[in-house]
């Protein structure tokens, strides 16, 4: 299921970078947009697209 693939990828990100992102969020006084602009990519993850994550709804 595409939802599970995306959930697994996000869990890995949380485990690897969650504490760093939390600290960055505090450093930017809760401005998640500022943090997001510094970390978000500019193209899709091919494996997730191929798994169909953009074709289904996510909660």
Q: What is the pTM assigned to this prediction?
A: 0.79
Give yes or no for residue 43 having a pLDDT over 90.
yes
CA-CA distance, 58 to 48, in Å (whole number)?
13
pLDDT, residue 21, reads: 98
Give yes or no for residue 31 having a pLDDT over 90.
yes
**What is the band of 3 on the pLDDT scale with cuts at 50, 70, 90?**
very high
Locate 4 and state its tokens: 């599970």
Per domain, the residue ranges of the chain are: 2-55
Burial class (CB in 10 A: 0-12, 13-18, 19+), 21: middle
Give yes or no for residue 59 having a pLDDT over 90.
no
Burial class (CB in 10 A: 0-12, 13-18, 19+), 46: exposed
Give yes or no for residue 32 having a pLDDT over 90.
yes
pLDDT, residue 40, reads: 96
């Amino acid at each position: 299921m595409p939802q599970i693939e995306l959930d697994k990828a996000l869990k890995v990100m949380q485990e690897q970078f969650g504490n760093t992102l939390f600290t960055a969020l505090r450093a930017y006084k809760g401005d998640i947009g500022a943090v997001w602009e510094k970390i978000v990519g500019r193209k899709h993850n091919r494996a997730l697209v191929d798994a169909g994550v953009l074709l289904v709804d996510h909660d």
